[in-house]
Structure 1
Amino acid sequence: MAVALASNNEIEKILNDGNNVFTSKFFEEVVKEKPGESVVMSAFSVMQPLAQLALASVGHSHDEILKVIGLPNDNVTKEVFPLVNSRLRAVKGVELKMANKIYLPLDAKIKEDFGALSKSVEDHTNHRIKNLVNSDSFSDNTRAVLVNALYFKGSWLDKFDKALTTDRDFHVSKDKTVQIPTMFKKAEFKFAESHELDAKLLELPYEGEEASMLIILPNEIDGLPALQEKLKVPSALETAIDNMYKVEVNVYLPKFKIETQIDLKKILMSKAFIEVNEEGAEAAAANGK
């Protein structure tokens, strides 16, 4: 039987579309669990253990998992992650590491497809994610534990001058303002005003200019909940990004460090970390199922 396989571009578009939808759903669940908190998350790193689980599943469970992550079938699943992971590791100017690990009983038998996608690799988060799996992760009913880890570090293409970092007002809400170290730079960046999102968009490139940080700032101090609602529709953000253009911008960016642990209805455990300073950004995420 002949099987027609999609081209690399088609495969990447399938993953991109699925990731956008899954990210929107995942973000919604995280916000529900962490109301009023600062959070960091990586939906893409959650997709990989779910894809592994799909390949190990059959019947209704298999179909439901593929539906959640937006992938049409096992053939695409087996193609897309090795391809995209290879492309991501080749991005110039940044450090990007990914790894998958499976914990199984010694006498366990696994499906060939599942084993092929799940490669066992040592620590790939530069020790930024610790204790994701410990003795509490296992019980007499445990049949398998899937772990995915992702680590990113990038230096700004045009670094912030530490001498210009000063304490400035940061509006936590309309009623609460705090002073925090805030970086400043006046330079040309990709920028946009989105009427649909009622927000401003700014893109800060990393060295190599093949990766960047996208910042979305609501126009209103209390506009974050409304922005979160609008971001549930992935196309709204895509449209706003398409309308970005180069312009000189006065950038005031708070230095920050966020760590988040998420337990979504006991389905999977997610830990994430991000730090942004004058040099650049460092982030890590790890997920277990």
Structure 2
Amino acid sequence: MQLSLGPFFICLTVLCTFLVTYTNAEKIVTSNSPLSVIASASNSFGIDFLKRLLQEKTGNIICSPLSVNIVLAMAAYGARGNTGFQIRQTLTLPEEDAIGQSGYESLITSLNDIKTVDLQIANKIFVAKKFEVNPDYTAITKDIFHSECETVDVSNPTAAAATINSWCANNTNNRIKDLLTPDDIDNRTKLVLINAIYFKGKWKDSFDGKYTSDLPFHINSNTIKEVPMMTITSMYLHGQLHNLDARFVELPYKGDEVSMFIIVPNKIDGLQRIENNIHDLDFSRLNQYGRNEEVILFVPKFKIENTIELNNLLQKVGMAEMFTDAADFSGIADTPLKVSKILQKGFIEVNEEGSEAVAASAFLVRPASADAVYKPVIQVDRPFLYAIVDSRYKSILFYGRIQDPTL
């Protein structure tokens, strides 16, 4: 008789309006600390993840390599044998569990310790009624990932989905409300692992909305759309990336602990070259290629919401076995388990809101005098990549592509 395998979901909900940091300024962490090790590992995984995602998905994208990393790490510590090896190797987790677990615990604690902004990272395990999770795994997920277990009745998919979606909404300021549908759940569903990240911060230098106006944006070499374009004159780090035939600009958030980097090709149809060589984009070294100076900046407003099923992508980056009957999650439960679906739902909105710094008209108008000092103009008027990166470890927390700001 063939043993029936209990599938489980790994779900990720991500919301980012304006990102803020996950470290307090007074907390100094050495480069070989567990937190630093996990940040570096997350970055390595995130680049591979992103490159695959950009190859497979067209159009606008919002994703969080950090969110994917955290929820897969939760699964990794319950995986054994080749399944565990594949997940750990792909995530580049340290061989010593104590280092990895301490790093994740420090990361999550640091995120939730920030009190001056709207910031939350949360994990949750929903367990089918009468399904027993190993006590050791429950302890690890609770102590390291701050994740509690809650039972749901999978025989009532509508109610189960409503319970899970309610938790998502509560942990993303009601931005993510419908991560799962009743069709995603049935009697064979045993576990749903969820990570939710909610960030909201402010620009260091805010854009004045009265200067936002419709300007041309080149969707491609043949198509131009008028889009709401924000404008500001301020001090920014910017420079040329000659190997990518592109330029970058760093937009810091209030506190200078996190920034949004925008990578815009020099040619209208030059985004493909950047995406093909994404491994050459090292945010820890961008300051070597640029300089801080006052520039006139034009950036389109945009809002994205997308849901991405990650099964195929994660199989291609090295985690194939966890989706098969050969999966070994015996650290989670004695019942054989395999992953049935991995989802990420993300939301990002970029607009003028920012810090209380004054944006006077003098900062927004190009000098007309022949004797005035020249200010470089940076126009983000073609498809571009963006990344939200913490200033201390240069970890890629959010990444995305804008093909059409109006969609």
Superposed pair shares fold, TM > 0.5: yes
Q: 1:254 and 1:92 mapped to 2: Cα distance? A: 30
1:1-289 → structure 2 map (5 Å cutoff): 9-10=31-32, 11-35=34-58, 37-73=59-95, 74-90=97-113, 94-107=117-130, 108-110=132-134, 111=137, 112-118=139-145, 119-120=147-148, 122=167, 123-233=170-280, 236-265=282-311, 267-280=341-354
Instruction: Tell me the matched-pair count.
Output: 276
Q: 2:85 and 2:127 mapped to 1: Cα distance? A: 23
Which residue is equivalent to 2:401?
none
Q: 1:201 and 1:55 mapped to 2: Cα distance? A: 38
Q: Which amino acid aligns with 2:192?
A: V
CA deviation string 1:157-206 (max 9, x = no partner): 21111111010011111111100010101111111211122211111122
CA deviation string 1:219-266 (max 9, x = no partner): 1111111101111345x4443344343111110000100111101236
Structure 1 residues 194 and 91, CA gap change in structure 2 (3 angstroms): farther
How much identity, in percent, do the aligned residues show?
32
Which residue is equivalent to 2:6?
none
Partner SS state of residue 62, structure 1: helix
Structure 1 residues 224 and 276, CA gap change in structure 2 (3 angstroms): same
Structure 1 residues 97 and 164, CA gap change in structure 2 (3 angstroms): same
CA RMSD of aligned residues (A): 2.4
Report if aligned partners of 1:26, 1:43 keep a CA contact under 8 Å in 2.
yes
- Give the deviation of 1:60 after TM superposition: 0.8
Q: Which amino acid aligns with 1:201?
A: F
Report if aligned partners of 1:190, 1:247 keep a CA contact under 8 Å in 2.
yes
Q: 2:187 and 2:354 mapped to 1: Cα distance? A: 44
Q: 1:190 and 1:93 mapped to 2: Cα distance? A: 26
Q: Which amino acid aligns with 2:108?
A: N
Q: Which amino acid aligns with 1:81?
A: Y
Partner SS state of residue 32, structure 1: helix
Structure ranking higher on relative contact order (CA contacts 8 Å, 6+ apart): 2
Q: 2:186 and 2:299 mapped to 1: Cα distance? A: 45
Q: 2:86 and 2:92 mapped to 1: Cα distance? A: 10
Stretch moving more, 119-128 or 210-219: 119-128
- Give the deviation of 1:272 after TM superposition: 0.5
Q: 1:57 and 1:249 mapped to 2: Cα distance? A: 51
Report if aligned partners of 2:237, 2:287 keep a CA contact under 8 Å in 1.
no
- Give the deviation of 1:12 after TM superposition: 2.9
Partner SS state of residue 243, structure 2: coil
Structure 1 residues 280 and 23, CA gap change in structure 2 (3 angstroms): farther
Report if aligned partners of 1:51, 1:77 keep a CA contact under 8 Å in 2.
no
Stretch moving more, 118-127 or 148-157: 118-127
Q: 2:108 and 2:87 mapped to 1: Cα distance? A: 20
Q: Highest Rg: 1 or 2?
A: 2
Report if aligned partners of 2:204, 2:254 keep a CA contact under 8 Å in 1.
yes
Runs of 5+ unmatched residues, structure 2: 1-28, 150-166, 313-340, 356-387, 389-396, 399-407
Q: Which amino acid aligns with 2:148?
A: S
Q: Which amino acid aligns with 2:308?
A: I
- Give the deviation of 1:115 after TM superposition: 4.2
Runs of 5+ unmatched residues, structure 1: 1-6
Structure 1 residues 93 and 200, CA gap change in structure 2 (3 angstroms): farther
Structure 1 residues 93 and 248, CA gap change in structure 2 (3 angstroms): farther
Q: 1:56 and 1:195 mapped to 2: Cα distance? A: 44
